[in-house]
Each structure stands twice: as structure tokens, then as C-alpha cells.
Amino acid sequence: MRIIPAIDIINGKCVRLSKGDYATEIIYNENPLEVAKMFEAHGVKYLHLVDLDGAKASHIVNHKVLENIASKTNLSIDFGGGLKSDDDLRIAFESGANQITGGSIAVKNPDIFKSWLQKYGADKIILGADALDEKVAVTGWLEESDKELLPFIQNYEKVGVSYVICTDISKDGMLQGPSFDLYQKILNETLNIKLIASGGISTYDELPRLAEMGCEGTIVGKAIYEHRISMKQIENFILNN
């Protein structure tokens, strides 16, 4: 299972929110590149980079941060937050993203999202399936849609989606443990989805459990920043898995 640390960006700074609420913003570092280099120094190969300004603005905003990290580290970066147009995608990939995550767009404009899948391939396009009470949430989690989470994922699996990042918003940033039951349900009800668990990771012991369940990756954010999981533990997990 891949360990994928998260860097969330507001105003070019590394922040974390709780349950996606912008009012709960905590700035952890003024320099995201510094954080990314620290991850890389501990053996991390992947990074989940979220443009929270972009999620609010509905277009890419912090592509310079992406470009800076991509050009000065060897991290494989998946980038998301407000990607709504072909132009947004072009900018993201030109700025060094290895993959992009589309969430709101997959709900609100499925034709565009499917066209990205066809153009770039399933290895480049991740479905962001963020949910509250198993209903898909959109626009940086500021809105809840009427889409049920599991059928939403299954329908996209049918048209070729391979990677899915699933965040249970009620858990995100709360350090109370991830939604094991929800992830198990998704893994049981899909055939070929590479599921990336996100939200609520709070202790090291949760990582092997998610790996045993069959998650392809796990995004870890606040647990690292709040020193609940040490970088040494992350390093050891990567070395031994």
C-alpha cells in the first residue's frame, strides 16, 4: 500500500482544515516545498497536493506551488482542487502533476470528466469520491449532492475509472480514525478499483489494517502534522511494504 502524505494549499501556504471547513484553517508551514522535501527525505515517493483556493474558485489557482514542488523533488504528485476545464488540466499537467483528481466535475459535468479519462487514460485521472453520510459532496465539500456514493463509484468503474480517492468528510482532520466499514463496503462492491483511503488517519496501527483490507493507497495529513504518526514510522512502513 502506498503512503501518500497530503499538502493542502491556501494562499501558497501548507494548511489543514477540519471536515473541509475553511474557518478551521491551521497554517502548518509557510513553505510547501520545505514540507515536500522533508517527506522525500524520509523515503516518501508520492504526494497528494490539494489546491483549496482552487476548490473554492472552481479553477486552478496554486499551480505555481505545484510547479515548484514538481521541479525540485522527485515526488509523484496527484493534484486536485477546482479542476473544471480542459485548460485547468493542461496547466496542471504542464506544471508537473503526474495525476489529477476530479471530484465536483465528475458529479456536475460527467461528460467533461469522461473526456479526460479518454484523453489522458485511467492512470492519470483519479475519481475524487468525497462523501458525507454516503452522499457525494462537491465544491470543496461546501455542497452535498444527491448522488449515493457506491453507485457513483460503480458507474464510473464501468466507464474505465481505476483510481478512486474516497474521503469520509465527517472523519477528515478529526484524528478519530478512518472509515474502515465504508472502505470495506467499496472494496466488496467493486471489481477493479484501486481505492485510496483518505480522512481520519490518526495512528500508525491504522495503516497496516487499511493495507490488509486491500486499499491501494492511504492519504495521511493531519496525523503527520500533529505528530500522531512520526516520519520514522512512515519511513519504516514504506521500507517494509
Which are the contacts of 102, defined by CB distance < 8 A and separation ≥ 6?
80, 83, 113, 116, 125, 126, 127, 128
User: String of b and e for 171-196 (b: at least 16 CB within 10 Å)?
Assistant: bbbebeebbeebbeebbeebeebbbb
How many C-beta neighbours within 10 Å does residue 76 have?
16
Q: Tell me the C-alpha distance between 116 and 125, whole Å.
A: 7
Of 63, 49, 47, 53, the residue nearest 22 (C-alpha): 53
* Backbone phi, psi, residue 229, to 5°: -120, 125
Instruction: Give the catalytic positions in this structure.
Output: 8, 130
**Which three-class secondary structure state does DSSP give residue 89?**
helix
Q: Tell me the C-alpha distance between 184 and 149, whole Å.
A: 13
